[in-house]
Amino acid sequence: RRDSAADFFSHYEYLCALQNSVPLPAVRACLREGVLDFNADRLRGVDWAPLLSTLKINKDLPLVSIKSFFQPWLGDTGL
């Protein structure tokens, strides 16, 4: 399982380099036991492209968990 995490991260690093961005330390920190588990609230819009492209290319991870703890304000409908 650790090999799949290392393979995933190497793909992610490569795509970040192609897009002139820096790999997020949070992504590496969340790759434990071959599982990607992170809080989406901490990612900026530009951070998603290499991450989603890597997930599209590399399908070695047995589990991907993306969480959000965002709670809209009272009365905010999101529209």
pLDDT one-digit tens code per residue, 50-63: 999 999 988 888 88
Residue 36 lies in a domain: yes
Looking at the chain, the whole-number percentage of residues with pLDDT higher than 90 is: 27
Instruction: Please count the other Cβ atoms lying within 10 Å of the Cβ belonging to residue 6.
Output: 13
For residues 65-74, give the mean pLDDT. Answer: 80
As a whole number of Å, the end-to-end CA separation of the chain is 41
Residue 12 lies in a domain: yes
DSSP type of residue 63: E
Residue 62 lies in a domain: yes
d(CA 54, CA 18): 12
Sequence-distant (≥ 6) Cβ neighbours of residue 41 within 8 angstroms? 68, 69, 70
Residue 42 lies in a domain: yes
Domain containing 12: what range? 4-67
Residue 60 lies in a domain: yes
pLDDT band, very low/low/confident/very high, at 76 (cuts 50, 70, 90): low
Residue 48 lies in a domain: yes
Residue 74 lies in a domain: no
For the cut 90, the answer to whether the pLDDT of residue 35 exceeds it is no
Residue 54 lies in a domain: yes
Q: What is the tally of structural domains in the chain?
A: 1
Distance of CA 58 to the CA centre of its chain: 12
| Cβ contact 35:6 at 8 Å | no
Report pTM.
0.76
